[in-house]
Every structure is written in structure tokens, then in C-alpha cells.
Structure 1
Amino acid sequence: MSAGPAAVPGTDAGADAVVEVVDVSHRYGRLRPVEVLHDVRMTVRRNEFVALVGRSGSGKSTLCHLVAGLGRPSSGQIRVAGEPAGGRPDWARLALLPQRPALVPELSVAQNAFLATRLRDRPDDEDLLVLLGIDALAGRSTGQVSLGEQQRVGIARALAVRPLVAVLDEPTGHQDDDNVDRVLDTLRQAGSRGTALLVATHDPRVLAAADRVVRMRDGRVVDELRP
């Protein structure tokens, strides 16, 4: 991706917006609150691949967690598909890959990958395991595979039901070059099938694959770069 001119951050996606972050601030603590997000405005459109970039502590992960409904912002609004973020989880609406994939140790690789589809009585997408290079590991327990393989199982789990929105926090953080390519191919395929992607990353290869890059600093969105 060749960086274009900086755009003014905003929420001008209109009816195409599936994620809307409007004037969101967030703080932790009561006695000495620390503000980690400041008046953030951002959108993600249907089928769009948006990458969040910034130094550690810039607020990327916090924003991802709030969009995924793992907490409520101190002020402002976050809407997913027109509804407030949070509430009863629906993996077909929004799926999350945290930095630690939080797999179920009692289940196999395939059982973890297709947990959501089986709960919703949908067929398993075996091609997803092939695309991520973990098909040969399907019957193993997650304790018998590497950290990078566990991360790819988490990616499969997040994308298996073809959610409207997938939020992924550093999805290539434990991948070598070949497997970064696998992950990016999988994300592109998910986008082509209708999933909007919000990805926090430090990886320049992920940034190059994104439709739009939102740069954060000290809890603020400072600019956007487009191809």
C-alpha cells in the first residue's frame, strides 16, 4: 500500500458504516483515573479492512475491546450494525480475536476453530483450516501446538461464522513470514465474503494489505492513510 494524503478522521461513512465510534473517551481507575482514549471518532464500512496502528499504549487494544463490547466507554457512543456495542454476544454479528486467543484447552484444534459454528448449528468450513495451514493439526489438543498455531486457531474461530465484523488484536504477532501470508490471505477472503475487519497491528505487511490505516497516538486518532 502506498500512503496517500492524510485524511481528516470522522464518521462520514453513512449507511455503509457497520462500526461507528463517536466521540469516545475512556478512563481506568477511580481514585486516580487514567484516560486512555480521548474523543475518538472512527468508522468501519461494510467489507472494509481497517488497520489501527500506533505505539504500545496508544489505545489500540482498548478501542478494540470497547468495539467488541468488552466494556463500555466512559463517554461517547460505539455502535455495531446500528446497535450499541456490547449486550448479548452474537458471533455472527461481531467476533473477536484478542492478543491471547483464549482457546478451550479441553477441546481439539478443530473443535476450538468451529466452536461458534457448532453452537449455531452451521457446517464447518474445513477450507478455513487449510487456508491457515492448521488442517493437519485438527485432532490435536491446543496444548500440543505452538503459540503461532494457537493464534491461527483463534483466527479461524473468529471468522468461521462469517461475522459482519471481526475485531483482531495483533493477529500476526506470533507468525513467521509464510504464516503472515496465510493470515493475510484468510483476512482477504473474509473481506470478500462480506466481513468488515478492524485490526490492531504493528506489522507493516498488515498495514500494506489494509484498505485504510488509522493512526493513533496517546489515545487519539491523529490521521488516516489510504492507498
Structure 2
Amino acid sequence: MSNAPPPALVDVQAVTHTHGRGAAAVTVLHEVTVEIGGGVLVALAGRSGSGKSTLCHLVAGVMAPTAGQVRVKGEPATALRDWAGVALAPQRLALVGELTVAENVHLPALLRGTPLDPDLLARMDLERIAQRPARETSLGEQQRTALARALVLGPELAVLDEPTAHQDDGHVEQVVAALRESVGRGTTVLVATHDARLIEVADIVLNLHSGRLLGGGGGPHGNGRGRNG
């Protein structure tokens, strides 16, 4: 009987990424290699400008690396377009302002013809503003709306960029609880964060410094794994 670990859900191999061209080119990631298994909460930590958002965007498949490869479920990340597979909550929240909070949250489910989750709005403290247009809500409420939208299909992978940046303490606790619940249901969550409260509950912490991955470690909750690049 083989004791080999299961294949990585996320496989980042020797990724370098550069923004701009010529004399204006800036390399933001340098030879990053990391593997992440299924059903874990991974915190991507580091100072602003360390490359966290860039790595999130590469894993979510919204752009391709300058060099190296990013694969999710064995496929190039850029080939994946189903939010049940990979969902993204970016810092620029990309909500549809004229739609209500509930419509924004449930949009992926409505487009897919999937039953709605009646409890998700309440878990994210959005129930009382569910019928309000998203553009008429606070930044913190909009951020929770984008987070709920990313989780609504129970995706295999959720990529979240600074999801607690605009939350007060009580709402941070709700966000953390929602992420841990999603992980318990089998979602792998990759979260770029400065928030020590998120880092403390992560199964794996990956540290980026000036675009280089310094290390990572596994916790007791999952089979993710990180290694230096």
C-alpha cells in the first residue's frame, strides 16, 4: 500500500512574474515553487509589495506567469473558468453596483442553476441589507458580499485577497468562522493577509518577502504542504 501524498490541488512551479516592459519592468515574484493540497486554509503572509496579490491572481488564473507554470487540478490555472472550481475575491471587489447584495452573492449560483444557500447571508451578517443595492452599502459590507459570492458554490479553491482589510473585530470573527466552515466542507482557501487572526487559524503559512517564498508549514487540519522556492 502506497503512502505517497495525494497530488497537489495547486501546483506552482518555478514561477517568476514581471510587471511592465523594458526599463520600466519590475519583477514581483522570483522562482516561487509551492504545492497545496485539498481542504486546507493557507495564509499567504508578507508586507505590502511582497507579491501576495500577484501570486493570488496567478493561482486564480486571471493572468499567466512570465515564467514557470501554475496548475490547478492538473490544468493550467488560466484554463479554469468555473467558479465551482476556482473562485476569487479580489481587493477590487468587482461587485455589480446596481444589483442587490443578495443578487451579487448568489450570482454564480443563479448563472449555474444551482440551489441558493439560504444561510450564507446571515453567516456573513448581510441578511438585513440583502435587498439593498451593493453600491449603497459600506466598504466592509461590500467586502463581505464579495467574500460570500466567492464561497457560495462551495468551490474546490477559493482565492481571497485581504478579505478582512475593511472589517471590524466582530466581523473578522465571522469571516474566520466562514472560512473554517468552508474548509471543513472541503474547500481549499488561499488567503493573502496581514491579519494575525487569520494567520493564527491557518493550517499552512507561506511567507513572501520581496517576491521570494521564505517557507511554509503544515498544521493539523489538512494535507496541504509548502516548500521554499
So what's the TM-score if we normalise by structure 1? 0.92
- CA displacement, residues 3-39 of structure 1 (integer Å, 9 cap, x when unaligned): xxxxxxxxxx953411110110011112122111000
Deviation of 1:123 after TM superposition, in Å, equals 1.0
Matched positions, count: 215
1:95-123 deviations in Å (ceiling 9; x for gaps)? 00001211001210000000000000011
**Residue matched to 1:4:** none
**What's 1:7 paired with?**
none
Structure 2, gaps ≥5 residues long:
220-229
Q: 1:29 aligns with which of 1, 11, 20?
A: 20
Contact 2:61–2:80 (CA under 8 A) maintained in structure 1: no
Matches within 5 A, 1:1-227: 14-32=5-23, 33-87=25-79, 89-227=81-219
Q: Which runs of 4+ in 1 moved over 3 A?
A: none
Letter in 1 for 2:69: Q
Aligned-residue identity in percent:
51
- One-letter amino acid of the counterpart of residue 61, structure 1: S
Q: Is the CA contact 1:126–1:135 (under 8 Å) kept in the aligned structure 2?
A: no
Task: Give yes or no for contact 2:43–2:199 (8 Å, CA) kept in 1.
Answer: yes
Q: What amino acid maps onto 2:136 in structure 1? A: Q
- SS of the aligned residue for 1:114 comes to helix
Query: What letter is aligned with 1:57?
Result: G
Give, in angstroms, the shift of residue 87 of structure 1. 2.5
Residue 3 of structure 1 corresponds to none
In the TM superposition, what is the alpha-carbon distance from 1:137 to its structure 2 partner? 0.9
Q: Deviations over 1:138-161 (max 9, x none)?
A: 100012211000000001100000
RMSD: 1.2
d(CA) in 2 for partners of 1:18, 1:88: 13
8 A Cα contact 1:44 1:198, kept in partner: no
